[in-house]
Amino acid sequence: MSEQLSILKKIPNWVYYLVTIGLIIALPILLGGSAYWRSILITISLNIMLAMSLNLILGYTGQLHLGHSAFYGVGAYATTLLIKKAGFSFWLAVATSSLLAGIIGVLLAFFATRLKGHYLAIASMAFAIILHQILLNWGSMTSGPLGIYGIAPPPPIALFGLEIKFNNQVNLFYLISFVALISYIVLNNILKSPIGDTLRAIREDEVSAASLGINAKLWKVFSFGVGAMIAGLAGSFYPSFVGTLVPDAFAVIESFSYLAMVVVGGMGTMIGPIIGAVVLTLLPELLRSIGDARLLVYGLSLTLVVLFMPGGILQAIQLIKTKLIK
């Protein structure tokens, strides 16, 4: 069976990257001038970043973290407030706030170094609830539940003498998917290095990992820090895409939707969460005629996948593949 698969393996990485870049460039053109589809493409890119970064913590390090929406929210609010209140430039604000999200991830990791399994699940959820409550209650800073309106798109950048403006959604999509691609490359390289094996060792058995001289605490902190930073980076671009910022976009239920993307796509693989993010962003849109079924779809698919296909869509694809080759 493996002949076809080994051909796939022989294709060097840069070919995949080129195909991906080609796809990114082609997608907005192929989908025509529809603003609706463009905003879905941007949402998919953001969700891919969130699912990938959650997967680093959940799928590779094995930490049941239910507070990812908090990091996303920190990135979004910090960027907006740094620009609005502290006069930061857009790019400096993006860098500062993803760093801030990373630091907050490290703070949460202190809980992860002490707690396991269900305790960590509840602690991380409590963490996200606290952040949501702060956003709701700190009216003078965040305007509370009313939210912040009229957020400008990223400022234009000059590239090869051309001025690229981000007030059109195609360019914004190129920008955000470029950031997502960079995040993928960073995560992929981390996980292919010995660090990836270290994290997997912690996931499989922390005690045995420790007996091999692995400092599990340190690597959990690392995993949370990097995961939070990428989620914060995604958050930095969210306000300038949507134009408004309300606390409920970072309610704890959103953490569950990223969890659904990771699990439905295939936890603990690089490609799985990407598939999950694409499928779970598109599926509710296709069902829009029935009503706002987004969370209903997430809940149902999460339950069904855990019960019947624990490896997610990726496992299903592999099953089909082996059956076809046989």
Partner 1 sequence: MSDFFYLIAQQTINGVVMGCLYVMVALGLTLIYGVMNQINFAHADFVTLGGFAAYFFVKWMGGGYLLSILVAFLVGGCLGYLVNLMIFAPLRERGDELRPLIATIGVSVLLENGALIAFGPVPYQFDSPYDETIRLGKIFFTTQSLLVVIVASSSIAALYAFMKYTFIGKALRAIAQDRETAGLMGINQAFLIMLTIVIASAMAGMAGAMLGPILVLTPFAGASVIVKAFAIVIIGGFGNMAGTIIAGLLVGLIEAFTTQYLDSGVTDLVVFALLLIMLLVKPTGLIAEKKEENV
- Site for partner 1, rule CB under 8 A: 64, 66, 110-111, 114-119, 121-123, 125-127, 129-130, 133-134, 136-137, 252-253, 256, 259-260, 263, 291, 293, 295-296, 298-304, 306-307, 310
The DSSP code for 148 is B
CA-based diameter of the chain, in Å? Answer: 64
Residue with smaller CB distance to partner 1, 46 or 259: 259
Residue with smaller CB distance to partner 1, 94 or 228: 228
Minimum gap (Å) between residue 183 Cβ and partner 1:
24
The DSSP code for 144 is G
Residue with smaller CB distance to partner 1, 41 or 66: 66
Minimum gap (Å) between residue 9 Cβ and partner 1:
30
Q: List, in order, residues 6 or more apart from 275 with CB less than 8 Å away.
A: 265, 266, 312, 313, 314
Residue with smaller CB distance to partner 1, 9 or 118: 118
Distance CA 12, CA 18 (A): 10
**C-alpha pair distances (Å), 159 with each of 24, 168, 169:** 18, 16, 18
Residue with smaller CB distance to partner 1, 46 or 260: 260
Residue with smaller CB distance to partner 1, 102 or 284: 284
Distance CA 33, CA 18 (A): 24
Strands 162-164 and 157-159: antiparallel
Instruction: Look at residues 164, 216, 169, 221 and name the one whose alpha carbon lies nearest to residue 44.
Output: 169
Instruction: Look at residues 19, 108, 68 and name the one whose alpha carbon lies nearest to residue 234.
Output: 68
Residue with tokens 């490609």: 271
Residue with tokens 């799928």: 59
Minimum gap (Å) between residue 126 Cβ and partner 1:
4
Residue with smaller CB distance to partner 1, 28 or 312: 312
In which region does residue 91 sit, left (phi positive, over 0), alpha (psi from -120 to 50) or beta (all else)?
alpha
Minimum gap (Å) between residue 284 Cβ and partner 1:
11
Q: Which two tokens stand for residue 99?
A: 């760093």
Minimum gap (Å) between residue 262 Cβ and partner 1:
10
Minimum gap (Å) between residue 148 Cβ and partner 1:
18
Contact 61, 203 (CB under 8 A): yes
Minimum gap (Å) between residue 111 Cβ and partner 1:
6
Q: List, in order, residues 6 or more apart from 324 with CB less than 8 Å away.
A: none
Residue with smaller CB distance to partner 1, 56 or 94: 56
Minimum gap (Å) between residue 88 Cβ and partner 1:
27
Contact 81, 262 (CB under 8 A): no
φ, ψ of residue 12 in degrees (nearest 5): -70, 160
